[in-house]
Amino acid sequence: MLLIHCPFCKNRNETEFVYGGPVGANRPDPNLVSDEEWVDYLTMVPNPMGPVYERWWHARGCDKWFIICRDTVTHEILENPSEEP
């Protein structure tokens, strides 16, 4: 069970969080991209063995969405969001 650092609540157990998937590209302006680019945006999500930026939601906590960088092999959390008061 991961120990996840919420910017608001500090270290909490993974069971309090909902996984929001890896961080892909930003949502493009759908009127400025080709069909291929739009489909890529929807379907091509990073899935590396190693460090990946991913989204977590503190669902059973403060409701904050945030991004961490986690190594998918070792589970080490390499980057945490900066803390908020």
Cα(28)–Cα(45) distance, integer angstroms: 14
Q: Is 78 in the site for other proteins (CB under 8 A)?
A: no
Quick check: 82 binds other proteins (CB under 8 A)? no
61 binds Zn ion (CB under 5 A): yes
Calpha distance 57→83 (Å, rounded): 15
- Which residues fall within 8 angstroms of residue 42, CB to CB, at 6 or more apart? none
Q: Which of residues 5-44 bind other proteins (CB under 8 A)?
A: 14, 18, 20, 26-27, 29-31, 35, 38-39, 42
Residue 65 touches other proteins, criterion: CB under 8 A: yes
Segment (H or E) for 74: none
Residues 2-41 that bind Zn ion (CB under 5 A): 6, 8-9
Residue 79, binding choice from other proteins, Zn ion, none, Cβ under 5 to 8 Å by partner class: none
Q: Please state, in angstroms and rounded to a whole number, the distance separating the CA atoms of residues 66 and 45.
A: 17
